[in-house]
Each structure stands twice: as structure tokens, then as C-alpha cells.
């Protein structure tokens, strides 16, 4: 269209006053239709100021703004001739339009649409355009300017629909190869997007005018998407084939095949752009996912062990997460992961626990247990895992706790078991408080299955660790062991049983000089005091006070006149004075002491009663110990022996052979204790005596002789280990006292009771066995 053919003229100012249609022109680019649509403006002849009769001459209100604009031009041209307005009169300037509105050519709309239709067809058919895109843009603007946007939109929609329908119809019956078919769909979609972008750029003014003012009308781009979606749904074969192809490709990828992820991404974005992703694809995709993992989960649970299965599940969940990043819509991630978790985990939680939890716990598979914890947490199955942990602790340890033959190894087993549980709780179960409480409750139940026995065994384990002779153990290692034992101590219910046996063993360690470290002993008592309070450790602390007080008594005795004048020269003597209330109760055991021992006992008794009047003494013989110097044909030895062993051995200074009955009559030692003593001298590792006939047990008819063939690589030999060993009677007595204390409250003491232990003297003798240390105990009670 040229300017010569334009039958009308219109100024830009007048066009701006014509309402909505002017907005489209105002929004055009710099080379817009304002210049091409409007020829040069004719000069306006000067008009006299309109009279008030202008309204009568037919000027309507709608033309007033344009008239006012024209009046302004005339006023500028004739400003010099204008008469200033009189202050007394108010006048209005009005312009009367005498010319009619210009008319468009008869075929203007059809001719313009013919150009646009040809262009749209060329775009869809990928042919060259016969008209410049700028002129096409101006043509759309012209139609919009003259209120022809609605008809234009309808014609464009119809034209685009025909091409889109034809394009999708061409996909019917295409290649049976799904990848090839999907590639054709991808190409068709990409062509469609490119073509609609060109059409949208040409019809931009249609979006800015007609579409903008008609809210129920979608943009040219959205109109194209609606048409594509419509005809895709009408072509059920094509749509079904696309969805099936996408699902098959994803399944192949899950099975390990390499697939074109870019193709998947483009087609799924197409579904998203068309607004059919959720309805047409996601629903079917989640159903296929559920079926796939249901089958795979059942198969792998049968074929794999639990660690491998858990690793497989973890890998599968990571793969699905990556799919959501690479080509699936973001909103699919949550239902997709939930579907996989349900089929791979939720359906098999009980089977996983039954099949592999115990094995993982026993092998301390921390990493695999952490994986199990993390996966179970995803499906809210931690309660099942916690219950499995409780059952494992109670069931696994029960076989050890209830087996009396394993008592020797019970405490080390419990220490290792507890350490293992703590490590698993920290590294595998993320320090979950609920799991910590489960461990505590279950372990407490386990350790108290056998009432009182674990408490007794823990006390004996501590005795073993604190006893002298534990070589290769540093102070730091010993301290660490005590801390671990204290953890077990917290769980035992029979703490009074522990106290009784601990006190009994501590007494032996202190009185027999068998403690490995006084500092370690005090450290353990300090730990117990922190754990249970001072009332629990009062007696234990009192035992150490007695040991310290005994040192002062010994120093005083050595300076006394009795010791200086009555004891033979060269004799060393040490005495422990012990408060009965602090120390275990020992049954009195009679023995006929050699004359030399009675002398030393009487001398110390005289000294002690002279210093502490009003007390009576009761010697405790079972804890006495001595050092004897023995002369064997193969060399001299020093023997560390108990008081009972001393009394028996010194009989052989006057006799070569003695029967069991002879020894019993001479010593007065109780029958069972005498058999135990003779067995330690003649049937143990260190055989100072020989039993006739040979054997492990001591019978009434047995005889004993001094072993002249005895030899040993060490000079000092310990034979009194028998004293540290607990007898059945001693164990029973300790347990019974605990039960009595539980039932009855102790009545107060009305007198001070002391156990006095005398240790050591040295004497010269020409006999084969010479005594250089001895040990006695007595109980002294204050008279009323």
C-alpha cells in the first residue's frame, strides 16, 4: 500500500484522541505505521473563534477534544491579531467539523489478510516469505488500528490449526522404532516452536491490543500451544506412542543401557509446555516405576545379602534423584522418590531386619548400619529398627549371661559388648536419643538377668586389675579400664553385692601387700564416691585410714621399750591395726603357733594394751603371711607363704616324714583348711613337700616329706597365692551377709572392735626352714 492510494489523512494528535485503537499505534517500533499510514497534513485555514452557537450547529461532545487541539494551532498562527479577552465576558472556542470520516478501500481487510495468510503458510511449510517481515508487522498493526483484531485473530487461529493438525497427522504410522519415532516428534515440536516464535513476532501488535483488552483470549503463542495440545490429544496413537516411548527409554536406562537424555529432556519439556505433563506422563510414569521396583525389590531381597541390598537401594534412590535434575520436572521428585522408597524399603523393612540386622551388629558393620539407619529414617521405620536393636541386645547377651561356665569371661564380654554398642550408637545411629535410651534399658535388663552374680563378677574383675602382677599395663590403660568398668557398675542393680565383694578383695590386697597401685585404688574409690555418694565409700575410705594409722603404730612400737628389750635382735615386725566396722568380717580360725610366734604376739599385745587400755584382742590368723628362708640341697630359697603354710612347713624342721593326721594334731588347723594348705604345698606348681602317694587330692592316709629335689630359677618364690583365692565358704558367707543386711537393719555397736594384723619378724636358725616374715590378725574389742 502506497501513500498515493491513501484516500484519507489523519494527524497523530487526532489519532491519539480516538481511544483504544490509538494504543496500538503508539506501541509500534520507530519504523511503525504512523509514517506509512498518514500522508502529509494539509494546512488548516484560519477559523474565527466559534460562537456559542457551535453546539447548535451539530458539534457533539466526542469531537470536543479534537476541536480544542485544532483551535490551539489556529491561535498560534494568528496570535498578533487576537483580541485579548475581556474580563467581563467568558467565551468558549469551538471548532465545527465540516468534513466526514475517511473510508477504507473495500478490499482492505481481505487484501491484508491474504498477505498474512500466505506468510503463515510459508512459515509452516518452511518456504521463503514473499513479503518483508516488517511490512507484515505493519499490516497487522493496520488491521488492529481499525478494529479488525478480532477477525484477524480468528483467521490466524484457523490457519495455524490447519498446519498443526497436518503436522501431527503426518506422525501417524511412522517408524516402529521408538527412538526414531521420538526423534521425529522432537523435530516436529522444535519446528513448531520456531514457527510460532516467528508468527508471534509478526503478530506482536495483535497481542498488545486485541488480546490485551480481551482477558478471555490467550496470546498468539498460547493459542498455538492450545492447538498443538488439542490435535495431539485427538491423535491418540501418536500421544500413546510418545508416552510409551518415554517410559521404555527410562526403563532401559534403569536396566543399565545408555539412552539419549537430551531427547528425553526435550520431549518432557514439551509435555510441560503443553500442560499435560502431570496428566498424560507423570501418572503413567509413577505406575511403571512402582511396578519396576516392586519386581526388582522382591528379586534382590532373595538373591542379595542385606548389605548389598541396602547399597543397591541407596544407589537406586540417587539415580532417581539425578533423573529429576536431568530431565524430569522438579515436582516429580517427591512422588518419584516416595514410590521407589515404598517398593524397595517400606515393603521389606521387616525382612531386612530379620535377615541381616543381627549379622551387621555382631560384625560391627558401622557403615552398613548407618546406611540402614538413614534409609529406614526415610520411610519412618526407625521405630522398627529401635525394636530390633532392643531385641538383639537382650537376646544376644542372654546366652553369655546365663551360662555359668562363661563367668570367667563375662565382664570382658560385657565391656566389649557395651563399647561396641556405644560406637554403633555414635557412628551408625547418629547419636539418636531414643536409640541411646533403648541401649541403656536393654543393657540394664541384660546385665541383671542373673541377680547379683554380675555385680560379684565385676567386683572380682576390678580386683584382678588392681592386684599386683599385671605386667605391661600402664597407669593410663588401667585408668581407662576402671572407667569402662564404672559404666557397667551403673547398670547393675545389686550394688550392695558389688560393695561387699569389692571390700573383701580390697582388704586382701591391702593386708597381703598385693595392690598394684595405691593411687589406682584411691582413684577407683573416688569414682565410686562420685557415682554413689560418700555413704557408699565411707568404709572403703576407712580401710585406707587404718593402713595409714598402722604405720604410726608400727613406728611407735619400734621405739618402745618392749621391742628394744624383749624382741631378739635383727627382728623386723610390722602390724596393721584395723577397725572392724570398716573391714570384712572374718570367721576365727584356730592354729597352734610355734613358740617363737607366740612370743612375738605376746610382746606386741603387751605394747598395744599399754597404749590403748580397755581393749581385748582377737587375732585373725587366716590373713597372716610370712617369708621363710629354706635351705634345699640344690640351693637356698625364700618362700612367701601364708601363716598356715608356715606352721606346716616348720614342723619339718623336727621330722622328715609326717602323716596327714600327725600334721592335723600338731597344728590344730581345721580339716578342710589343712587339706587346702597341704594341697598348695605338695600338689601345686611349687611343690615344697612331696605327697605319698602322688595325686591331686589330699586323703587321710597320705604322708608328706620334705622335697629335697626342689629347684626353681627364682630366689624368692610365692607360694601363698592360695590366700588370694576365694573359697566357696567365703563366697557364700559374703553373699549371705548382703542378704541379711537387706532384710535387717544393723544394731549399733556398743564397743570398739579392732582387727590387728602383725606382719613380719626375722630370726636366725640352723633349721632347713627359717622364718623371716610373718603375719597375724586379731580382733580387739573395747571392754564395757
When divided into structural domains, the chain yields a total of 4
Instruction: Give me the DSSP letters along 307-333.
Output: HHHHHHHHHHHHHHHHHHHHTS-GGGH
- What integer pLDDT is reported at residue 568 of this predicted model? 67
- What integer pLDDT is reported at residue 738 of this predicted model? 77
Looking at 549, 583, 604, the residue that finishes a domain is 549
More confident residue, 205 or 469: 205
Question: In terms of domains, do 734 and 713 share one?
Answer: no
pLDDT digits (tens, 9 = 90+) for 411-438: 999 999 999 999 999 999 999 999 999 9
Question: In terms of domains, do 233 and 378 share one?
Answer: no
Rounded Cα distance, 764 and 641, in Å: 18
Question: In terms of domains, do 360 and 477 share one?
Answer: yes
List the one residue out of 385, 386, 311 whose CA is nearest residue 344. Answer: 311
Q: Which residues contact 146 (CB under 8 A, 6 or more apart)?
A: 21, 104, 108
- Angle, helices 366-378 vs 382-401, to 10°: value is 140
Could you tell me if residue 80 is inside a domain? no
Q: Please report, to the nearest 10 degrees, the dihedral formed by the alpha carbons of residues 161, 163, 169, 170 taken in order.
A: -170
Could you tell me if residue 427 is inside a domain? yes
pLDDT digits (tens, 9 = 90+) for 666-724: 999 999 889 988 988 888 888 889 888 888 889 999 999 988 888 888 888 888 677 77
Question: In terms of domains, do 721 and 743 share one?
Answer: no
- What integer pLDDT is reported at residue 86 of this predicted model? 52
Could you tell me if residue 96 is inside a domain? no
Average pLDDT over residues 340-355: 96
Question: In terms of domains, do 410 and 537 share one?
Answer: yes
List the one residue out of 720, 705, 508 whose CA is nearest residue 627. Answer: 720
Question: In terms of domains, do 221 and 268 share one?
Answer: yes
**What is the domain range of residue 738?**
730-778
Could you tell me if residue 52 is inside a domain? no
pLDDT digits (tens, 9 = 90+) for 604-652: 888 888 888 777 777 778 878 888 888 888 888 888 888 888 889 888 8
Q: Which residues contact 489 (CB under 8 A, 6 or more apart)?
A: 458, 495, 498, 528, 531
- What integer pLDDT is reported at residue 49 of this predicted model? 37
Whole-angstrom CA distances from 253 to 258, 451, 688 are 6, 61, 84
Answer whether 714's CB lies under 8 Å from 675's CB: no
Question: In terms of domains, do 774 and 690 share one?
Answer: no
Average pLDDT over residues 180-208: 96
Of the ranges 147-161, 171-185, 373-387, 767-781, which one carries the lowest mean pLDDT score? 767-781
- What integer pLDDT is reported at residue 765 of this predicted model? 30
Question: In terms of domains, do 152 and 210 share one?
Answer: yes
Answer whether 200's CB lies under 8 Å from 207's CB: yes
Cell triple for 686: 611349687
Answer whether 138's CB lies under 8 Å from 32's CB: yes
Cell triple for 393: 541386645
Predicted confidence (pLDDT) at residue 573 exceeds the cutoff of 80 = no
Whole-angstrom CA distances from 282 to 277, 334, 529 are 6, 12, 67
Looking at 252, 274, 296, the residue that finishes a domain is 274
Average pLDDT over residues 353-379: 96
Of the ranges 100-109, 145-154, 282-291, 745-754, which one carries the lowest mean pLDDT score? 745-754
Average pLDDT over residues 265-283: 96
Could you tell me if residue 456 is inside a domain? yes
Predicted confidence (pLDDT) at residue 766 exceeds the cutoff of 90 = no
- What integer pLDDT is reported at residue 247 of this predicted model? 97
Could you tell me if residue 288 is inside a domain? no
pLDDT digits (tens, 9 = 90+) for 655-670: 888 999 999 999 999 9
Within 13 Å and on the Cβ side, how many CA atoms surround 271? 23
CATH code, domain with 508: 1.20.1310.10
pLDDT digits (tens, 9 = 90+) for 374-395: 999 999 999 999 999 999 999 9
Average pLDDT over residues 27-37: 34
- What integer pLDDT is reported at residue 36 of this predicted model? 34
Question: In terms of domains, do 522 and 637 share one?
Answer: no
- What integer pLDDT is reported at residue 151 of this predicted model? 95
Could you tell me if residue 57 is inside a domain? no
- What integer pLDDT is reported at residue 28 of this predicted model? 32
pLDDT digits (tens, 9 = 90+) for 508-529: 888 888 888 888 999 999 999 9
- What integer pLDDT is reported at residue 469 of this predicted model? 65
Average pLDDT over residues 261-283: 96
Average pLDDT over residues 60-67: 34
Cell triple for 195: 514457527
Predicted confidence (pLDDT) at residue 19 exceeds the cutoff of 70 = no
Predicted confidence (pLDDT) at residue 79 exceeds the cutoff of 80 = no
- What integer pLDDT is reported at residue 102 of this predicted model? 64
pLDDT digits (tens, 9 = 90+) for 221-269: 999 999 999 999 999 999 999 999 999 999 999 999 999 999 999 999 9
List the one residue out of 274, 257, 256, 258 whose CA is nearest residue 266. Answer: 274
Looking at 251, 274, 297, the residue that finishes a domain is 274
Rounded Cα distance, 152 and 116, in Å: 9
Predicted confidence (pLDDT) at residue 26 exceeds the cutoff of 90 = no
Q: How confident is the model at residue 583 (pLDDT cuts 50, 70, 90)?
A: confident
pLDDT digits (tens, 9 = 90+) for 289-326: 999 999 999 999 999 999 999 999 999 999 999 999 99
For strands 657-659 and 703-706, give the pairing.
antiparallel
Of the ranges 178-182, 225-229, 763-767, which one carries the lowest mean pLDDT score? 763-767
Predicted confidence (pLDDT) at residue 736 exceeds the cutoff of 80 = no
- What integer pLDDT is reported at residue 9 of this predicted model? 31
Predicted confidence (pLDDT) at residue 73 exceeds the cutoff of 50 = no
Question: In terms of domains, do 190 and 147 share one?
Answer: yes
Question: In terms of domains, do 119 and 212 share one?
Answer: yes
CATH code, domain with 635: 3.30.230.130
Question: In terms of domains, do 262 and 143 share one?
Answer: yes
Could you tell me if residue 56 is inside a domain? no
pLDDT digits (tens, 9 = 90+) for 36-53: 333 333 333 334 333 333
Each as own residue / partner, the long-range contacts of residues 23-27 (CB below 8 Å, 24 or more positions apart, any chain) are: 23/208, 23/209, 24/141, 24/144, 24/145, 24/205, 24/208, 24/209, 25/141, 25/145, 27/205, 27/208, 27/209
- H-run or E-run covering 525: helix 518-532
Amino acid at each position: 500500500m502506497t501513500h498515493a492510494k491513501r484516500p484519507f489523512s489523519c494527524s497523530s494528535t487526532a489519532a491519539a484522541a480516538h481511544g483504544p485503537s490509538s494504543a496500538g499505534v503508539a506501541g509500534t517500533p520507530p519504523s511503525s505505521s504512523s509514517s506509512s499510514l498518514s500522508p502529509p497534513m494539509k494546512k488548516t485555514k484560519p477559523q474565527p473563534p466559534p460562537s456559542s452557537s457551535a453546539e447548535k450547529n451539530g458539534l457533539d461532545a466526542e469531537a470536543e477534544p479534537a476541536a480544542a487541539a485544532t483551535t490551539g494551532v489556529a491561535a498560534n498562527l494568528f496570535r498578533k491579531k487576537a483580541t485579548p479577552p475581556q474580563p467581563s465576558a467568558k467565551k468558549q472556542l469551538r471548532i465545527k467539523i465540516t468534513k466526514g470520516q475517511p473510508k477504507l478501500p473495500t478490499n482492505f481487510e481481505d487484501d491484508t489478510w491474504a498477505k498474512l495468510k500466505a506468510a503463515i503458510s510459508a512459515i509452516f511449510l518452511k518456504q521463503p516469505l514473499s513479503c518483508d517481515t516488517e511490512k507484515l508487522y505493519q499490516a497487522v498493526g493496520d488491521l488492529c488500528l481499525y478494529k479488525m483484531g478480532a477477525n484477524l485473530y480468528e483467521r490466524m487461529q484457523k490457519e495455524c490449526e490447519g498446519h498443526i493438525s497436518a503436522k501431527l497427522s503426518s506422525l501417524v504410522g511412522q517408524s516402529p522404532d521408538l527412538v526414531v519415532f521420538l526423534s521425529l516428534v522432537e523435530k516436529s515440536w522444535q519446528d513448531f516452536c520456531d514457527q510460532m516464535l516467528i508468527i508471534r513476532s509478526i503478530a506482536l501488535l495483535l497481542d498488545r491490543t486485541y488480546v490485551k483488552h480481551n482477558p478471555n483470549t490467550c496470546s498468539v503463542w498460547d493459542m498455538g500451544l492450545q492447538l498443538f495440545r488439542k490435535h495431539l490429544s485427538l491423535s491418540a496413537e501418536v500421544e500413546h506412542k510418545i508416552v510409551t516411548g518415554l517410559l521404555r527409554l527410562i526403563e532401559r536406562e534403569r536396566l543399565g543401557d545408555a539412552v539419549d537424555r537430551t531427547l528425553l529432556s526435550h520431549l518432557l519439556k514439551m509435555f510441560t509446555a503443553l500442560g499435560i505433563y502431570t496428566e498424560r506422563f507423570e501418572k503413567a510414569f509413577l505406575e511403571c516405576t512402582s511396578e519396576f521396583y516392586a519386581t526388582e525389590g522382591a528379586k534382590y531381597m532373595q538373591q542379595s545379602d542385606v548389605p548389598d541390598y541396602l547399597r543397591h537401594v541407596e544407589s537406586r534412590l540417587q539415580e532417581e534423584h539425578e533423573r529429576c535434575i536431568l530431565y524430569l520436572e522438579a515436582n516429580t521428585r517427591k512422588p518419584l522418590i516416595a514410590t521407589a522408597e515404598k517398593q524397595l524399603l517400606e515393603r521389606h523393612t521387616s525382612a531386612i531386619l530379620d535377615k541381616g540386622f543381627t549379622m551387621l551388629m555382631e560384625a560391627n558393620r558401622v557403615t552398613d548400619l548407618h546406611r540402614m539407619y538413614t534409609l529406614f529414617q526415610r520411610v519412618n521405620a526407625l521405630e522398627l529398627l529401635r525394636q530390633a536393636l532392643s531385641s538383639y541386645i537382650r537376646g544376644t547377651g542372654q546366652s553369655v549371661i546365663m551360662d555359668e561356665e562363661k563367668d570367667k569371661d563375662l565382664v570382658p564380654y560385657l565391656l566389649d559388648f557395651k563399647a561396641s554398642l556405644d560406637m554403633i550408637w555414635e557412628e551408625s545411629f547418629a547419636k539418636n536419643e531414643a536409640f541411646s535410651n533403648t541401649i541403656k534399658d536393654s543393657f540394664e535388663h541384660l546385665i541383671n538377668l542373673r541377680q547379683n552374680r554380675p555385680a560379684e563378677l565385676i567386683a572380682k574383675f576390678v580386683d584382678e586389675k588392681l592386684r599386683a602382677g599385671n605386667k605391661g599395663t600402664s597407669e593410663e590403660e588401667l585408668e581407662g579400664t576402671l572407667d569402662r568398668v564404672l559404666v557397667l557398675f551403673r547398670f547393675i542393680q545389686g550394688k550392695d553385692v558389688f560393695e561387699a565383694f569389692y571390700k573383701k578383695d580390697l582388704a586382701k590386697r591391702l593386708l597381703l601387700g598385693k595392690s598394684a597401685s595405691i593411687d589406682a585404688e584411691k582413684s577407683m574409690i573416688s569414682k565410686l564416691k562420685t557415682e554413689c555418694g560418700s555413704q557408699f565409700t565411707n568404709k572403703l575410705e576407712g580401710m585406707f585410714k587404718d593402713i595409714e594409722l598402722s604405720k604410726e603404730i608400727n613406728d611407735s612400737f619400734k621405739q618402745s621399750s618392749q621391742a628394744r628389750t624383749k624382741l631378739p635382735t635383727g627382728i623386723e615386725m610390722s602390724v596393721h591395726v584395723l577397725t572392724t566396722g570398716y573391714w570384712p568380717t572374718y570367721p576365727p580360725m584356730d592354729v597352734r603357733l610355734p613358740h617363737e610366734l607366740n612370743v612375738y604376739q605376746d610382746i606386741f599385745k603387751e605394747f598395744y594394751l599399754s597404749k590403748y587400755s580397755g581393749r581385748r584382742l582377737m587375732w585373725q590368723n587366716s590373713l597372716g603371711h610370712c617369708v621363710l628362708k629354706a635351705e634345699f640341697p640344690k640351693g637356698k630359697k625364700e618362700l612367701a607363704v601364708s601363716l598356715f603354710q608356715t606352721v606346716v612347713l616348720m614342723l619339718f624342721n623336727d621330722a622328715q616324714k609326717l602323716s596327714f593326721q600327725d600334721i592335723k594334731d600338731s597344728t590344730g588347723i581345721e580339716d578342710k583348711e589343712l587339706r587346702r594348705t597341704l594341697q598348695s604345698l605338695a600338689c601345686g606348681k611349687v611343690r615344697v613337700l612331696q605327697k605319698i602317694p602322688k595325686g591331686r587330692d589330699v586323703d587321710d592316709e597320705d604322708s608328706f616329706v620334705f622335697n629335697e629335689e626342689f629347684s626353681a630359677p627364682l630366689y624368692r618364690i610365692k607360694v601363698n597365692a592360695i590366700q588370694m583365692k576365694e573359697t566357696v565358704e567365703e563366697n557364700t558367707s559374703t553373699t549371705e551377709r548382703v542378704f541379711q543386711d537387706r532384710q535387717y537393719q544393723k544394731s549399733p555397736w556398743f564397743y570398739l572392735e579392732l582387727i590387728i594384723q602383725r606382719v613380719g619378724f626375722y630370726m636366725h636358725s640352723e633349721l632347713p626352714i627359717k622364718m623371716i616374715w610373718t603375719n597375724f590378725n586379731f580382733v580387739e574389742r573395747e571392754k564395757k
